Amino acid sequence: MHRFALNGRFTARKLTGQERFAKELILELDKLPEAQEFVLVVPEYASCIPELKHIEVVKYGRVKSHLWEQISFYRYIKKNKLLSINLTTTCPFFSPDIVCIHDAAYYEISNLLTTTLYGKLSTLWHKLLAWASAKWAKKILTVSNYSKTRLSEILKVSSGRIDVVYDAWQHFNRVGLDDEIFSCLPANVKKKEYILALSSLLPQKNFIWIKEVAKRNSDLQFVVCGKSVNLSSYKENDLKCENVHFTGYISDAQVKSLMSNCLAFVHPAIYEGFGIPPLEAMSCGAKVVVSRATCLPELYEDAAYYIDPYDYDVDLKKLLSQHVASSEKILKKFDWGKEAKKMVEIVKSV
């Protein structure tokens, strides 16, 4: 008998960080004895539905975008008397039930996220949903202790109502390698000699750091996998320089090839709720450079190289010559199966 309805709007969206979180947790949840208590409700037009053996998948409603959650998904959970589980920040306004708010970015860096009309509207909408979650949700989940602390303070929610369910990296074990990506890059981008970065060009990802540091490290080539989105304040042309090369959106197999062959992977974000790409790179054996901002020291401890995201005078080769701890303990710390079990315990407590 179903008790919980998983919000499947993510199956109609491009697979980025929060969608990955939802997909991988549900795949692991499908392996657990409690799986049959859950139903995954997706829009009728969903195109990226995970293959599940024990969790029933229901296609319901053709309403588009955010309205699907507010109309179709809401109608389904009320009709069937189910609790909603929402893993990608957004949720039905009047029935958030259990919702994962991945970070407090819409409060802490709203000045960066409201430079476009889309950004202003998105910020207002997400703040409204966060208010509803703080008021009515039975449990709030988030993806780091940093985010838990900040959400508790900002939303005035007791820390006991917020639980941490981490992201992980094991999905990368299912990904092969596609070295064809190297034929799409300039000849001077050689294996083990380039710096790699990966993300949508969101303002908080701080890709201006890449451009400025590339200017000061002209003996290195930089490869950036990502492109502008509606919240972007920069476009590719704003960030280009002679030794920075953009690939645009590429496949996981191509990303894995680049991660497996880079000199280092760099993530200079000024704000992060978790950030899966550095963990994926670490799983490929890459050296990982992250900023000393928000949750990143909590996640990567002494196994990463740290930079100040506002300091561009960085000698990367000198930085990478320093010793850091093995990545083994970091990779053991984050596991999708372990996090799915944790989520089930939280849900059952509700």
What CATH number is given to the structural domain containing 99? 3.40.50.2000
| Pair (157, 262) in one structural domain | no
pLDDT in tens, 7-52: 999 999 988 889 999 999 999 999 999 999 999 999 999 999 999 9
Tell me how far apart the alpha carbons of residues 273 and 223 are, in angstroms, rounded to a whole number. 24
| Pair (159, 184) in one structural domain | no
Q: What integer pLDDT is reported at residue 233 of this predicted model?
A: 53
Ordered strands of the 139-142 beta sheet: 56-59, 38-42, 4-7, 83-86, 98-100, 139-142, 162-164
Which residues are CB-contacts of 69 (< 8 A; sequence separation ≥ 6)? 7, 9, 86, 90, 91, 92
Q: What is the mean pLDDT of residues 103-128?
A: 93
Task: Indicate the average pLDDT of the chain.
Answer: 94
pLDDT band for 179, please (50, 70, 90 cuts).
Answer: very high
Q: What integer pLDDT is reported at residue 235 of this predicted model?
A: 60
Task: Domain of residue 296: give its range.
Answer: 176-333
Q: What is the mean pLDDT of residues 108-133?
A: 93
The total domain count for the chain is 2
pLDDT in tens, 132-176: 999 999 999 999 999 999 999 999 999 999 999 999 999 999 999
Tell me how far apart the alpha carbons of residues 36 and 24 are, in angstroms, rounded to a whole number. 17
Q: What integer pLDDT is reported at residue 249 of this predicted model?
A: 86
Selection from 9, 34, 5, 37 nearest residue 23 by Cα:
9
- pLDDT of 228 over the 60 cut: no
| Pair (260, 313) in one structural domain | yes
| Pair (104, 199) in one structural domain | no
pLDDT band for 350, please (50, 70, 90 cuts).
Answer: confident
| Pair (320, 339) in one structural domain | no
| Pair (11, 159) in one structural domain | yes
Q: What is the mean pLDDT of residues 271-294?
A: 96
- pLDDT of 232 over the 60 cut: no
| Pair (16, 100) in one structural domain | yes
- pLDDT of 237 over the 70 cut: no
- pLDDT of 1 over the 90 cut: no
